[in-house]
Structures are given as C-alpha cells and as structure tokens.
Amino acid sequence: MLPPRLPRLSRFSRFSRRALRGPVLLLTGALLASGCGSGAATDGAGAGSGATGAAGYPRTVRDCGHDVRVTAPPRRAVSLNQGTTEILLSLGLADRMAGTATWTDPVMKGLEKANAGVPRLADDMPSFETVLDAEPDFVAASFASTLGTGGVATRERFTELGVPAYLSPSDCVGKDNSGDGDGVRDQALTMDTVYGEVRDLARLFGVERRGDELVAGLESRIDRATSGIDASGVSLMYWFANSTSPYLAGCCGAPGVITRAVGAENAMDDTHEEWPQVGWETVADRDPDVLVLGDLTRKSQTAETAAKKIEFLESNPVTRNMTAVREKRYVLLSGQAMNPTIRTVEGVEQVAAALREFGLAE
C-alpha cells in the first residue's frame, strides 16, 4: 500500500488556522441551524446546540489507550472506513458528516438515502490532505491501518490540529497490530466490543438513546437468527479475497463471532492471525463443509467478488474436489459482515439461514 500523500505546507498552515477558530465556526453553524429550524440530532441527556460549552460537554471516552475528548457535538465528522460510516449513519448523523472513505461494499440497506447526502472523499484510503480539505472537527476509523502509521495519518497528528480521532475498539481490544499483516488476536472478539463502539460514538455526538436502541435491535436480531440452532461438528472456512494466496479468517475476529453464534467450527481456528494468507493445498486439506465467501465491490485484490471466487474454486484442480465445492455450499457475505462491524450481525443471520437450508443445522 502506498503511503498517504503529505499535504503542502501552505495547506497545512491554512487548516491550522481554521482549527483554531473552530469554536467560532461551530457557534455560527448552531445559530444558522436554529434560524432555519433544523438543529443537530441530539437526544442524549444534556446534549446541547453544538456550540463550545454546550450543556453536557465536554465529553470524553477512553478509546484504545487514548482519551477522545469533544467540547461539543461534532458537526463535520469524517469517517475513514465503511464500518464507522455505517454506525454514524445508523445513528441518524448524516447531517453531521463531512465525508467518508475506504469502501468495500454498497452501503447497508436502509441507509442509501442518508449516505447519498454525505460526500465521498475516496473509494479507498484518502490522503491526509484530502481529509483536511473537508475541514473535519472529528475523525473516526475502523482500523489502525487507516488511522495510524502508514495510513491516512496517526491520531496524534489529527490531535495536533485540534481534531479528535476515534479508532474502533474492535481493532485494538485484545489485538496486536504491530506486525506486517492484519493483526493477531490474543482474545476472541465479541459483539460487546462492537456495541461499545456504538455507545461511544453515540455519547460523543449526544445521541445516547439512539445508541441504546441500535444495540438493542442488533442483539434482538442475533437472538432471532440463532434461536434453537445447533451446527456442532460443521466446519466453516471464510475467504475474504485474493486467489493467489487467499486471505482466510483466523479463529478470533468477526468470523469467529459468527461461527460461535451458530455453534459451528472454523477450519482455521488454529491461528490467531486475523486474516492469514495460506496456500491452496492447505485449504484443500482442511476441506470445510461450507465456504463463506466475501462478495466485495472494491478492486484492490484478485477474486474480490463471490462470482470470481466460485469460478476459481470450481476450475482449480486443487480446490474443485473439495466437499463444499462439490456440494456448492457457498454463503455469500459482504466484506463488512466479515469485519468487526454492526454488519457482523448480518453475517450471523445469513450463515445461520444457509446452514439450515443446507440441512447442516437444526
């Protein structure tokens, strides 16, 4: 991945001046909004108008070893990954977003209209300069590879400009990102960590009630999808992308959440790497009962779409005689459902339904 393009010094200086006068801009925005009769979405206790010194502010959440502090409800948030984007949109905060970036899939169903009104800064990872041009007062990201060294910028760099930066706890709690890959987990991810992210963002934006309602709805969906299911003894394998050296899910990320929810087994549960790359001989030797395939719309790897994956599996002499391939036991998931996001719930629903359809779960 190429390093982010650094901003020109003059652009950096202009943004610094803008950041220093942020409180004035926020106050002006609040007055204009009240005059037009369309205020910011605030339903939490003590949530205020958005001006510095608003009731209930400043607010701080502890996030991945950092304190993220906002002095008012953010009004120009930039989301650097689709996962955080869909949380903010689900919380009804589209009118407080100044940009989004780094997409793998179409936006979650039901959010199309809200998303259409938010500028897309880049389909992939944007440059630091592009993000600064959006004049953000808050930045959120799903992955340390985006908000960190080698990504758009480190959170410290944003903080220096007075822009609070939030990283999804699902990419740091019980996880080591210091290596070259997608990280290693020493603790299995749970949906409670994702729900914690929803509540953190809801608190910072002053919409706590919406956060609680969103979490309750997600919990209810998992309960309904997995009620009475028993897929013990069934092995699953999750292929995200790349036909040369496939990225398969290790034991303990979002696919682990899905696998445990349905009571099945992960054919790659002997590795704690988030997405290890393995050879096709290893895939064939593991011979899973079901293949869960990422159906992505991005174009950064080979075999991004599920159709390309199936074409490869059924034509490659190493894989075409695998049990799941012969029986055509494929489950197609969005990339977001295979990442630690609110759409992991979607993954639980789809995998549970497919196992029942295949006759592999009661």
DSSP string covering 196-257: HHHHHHHHHHT-HHHHHHHHHHHHHHHHHHHTT---TT-EEEEEEE-SSS-EE--SSSHHHH
Calculate mean pLDDT across residues 158-187: 96
- Tell which residue, 61, 143, 66, 136, has the closest CA to residue 100: 136
**Res 47 pLDDT > 90:** no
How many CA atoms lie within 13 Å of 9's alpha carbon, on the beta-carbon side? 0
Query: Taking the CB of residue 178, how many other CB atoms lie within 10 A of it?
Result: 7
More confident residue, 343 or 45: 343
β partners of residue 60: 69
Calculate mean pLDDT across residues 168-196: 96
> Which stretches does DSSP call E strand in 42-151?
59-63, 66-70, 77-79, 97-101, 120-122, 138-141
**Res 39 pLDDT > 60:** no
As a whole number of angstroms, the distance between CA 151 and CA 137 comes to 19
| Residue 7 confidence (pLDDT) | 34
Q: What CATH class does 9-219 carry? A: alpha beta
As a whole number of angstroms, the distance between CA 120 and CA 16 comes to 23
pLDDT digits (tens, 9 = 90+) for 233-277: 999 999 999 999 999 999 999 999 999 999 999 999 999 999 999
**What is the DSSP pairing of strand 175-176 with strand 165-167?**
unpaired
**Res 359 pLDDT > 70:** yes
Domain boundaries, the chain: 9-219, 229-357
Distances (CA, A) of 224 to 137, 147, 212, 261: 39, 35, 18, 11
Task: Lowest mean pLDDT of 39-53, 73-87, 301-315, name the range.
Answer: 39-53
Q: What angle do CA 332, 337, 340 make, to 5 degrees?
A: 150
What is the pLDDT of the chain when averaged over all its residues? 88
Calculate mean pLDDT across residues 6-31: 34
CATH 3.40.50.2300 for the 229-357 domain, yes or no: no
Phi-psi region of 100 (alpha: psi -120 to 50; beta: other; left: phi over 0): beta
As a whole number of angstroms, the distance between CA 332 and CA 258 comes to 13
> Which stretches does DSSP call E strand in 86-137?
97-101, 120-122
72's tokens: 């008012």
On the question of a common fold for 9-219 and 229-357, the answer reads yes
- Tell which residue, 276, 278, 264, has the closest CA to residue 324: 264
User: Are the C-beta atoms of residues 176 and 209 closer than 8 Å to each other?
Assistant: no
| Residue 170 confidence (pLDDT) | 98
Query: Taking the CB of residue 62, how many other CB atoms lie within 10 A of it?
Result: 10
pLDDT digits (tens, 9 = 90+) for 98-157: 999 999 999 999 999 999 999 999 999 999 999 999 999 999 999 999 999 999 999 999
pLDDT digits (tens, 9 = 90+) for 289-331: 999 999 999 999 999 999 999 999 999 999 999 999 999 999 9
Distances (CA, A) of 162 to 40, 44, 99, 128, 154: 21, 24, 18, 15, 13
How many residues does this entry show for the chain? 362
| Residue 43 confidence (pLDDT) | 55
| Residue 362 confidence (pLDDT) | 82
**Res 35 pLDDT > 50:** no
pLDDT digits (tens, 9 = 90+) for 93-110: 999 999 999 999 999 999
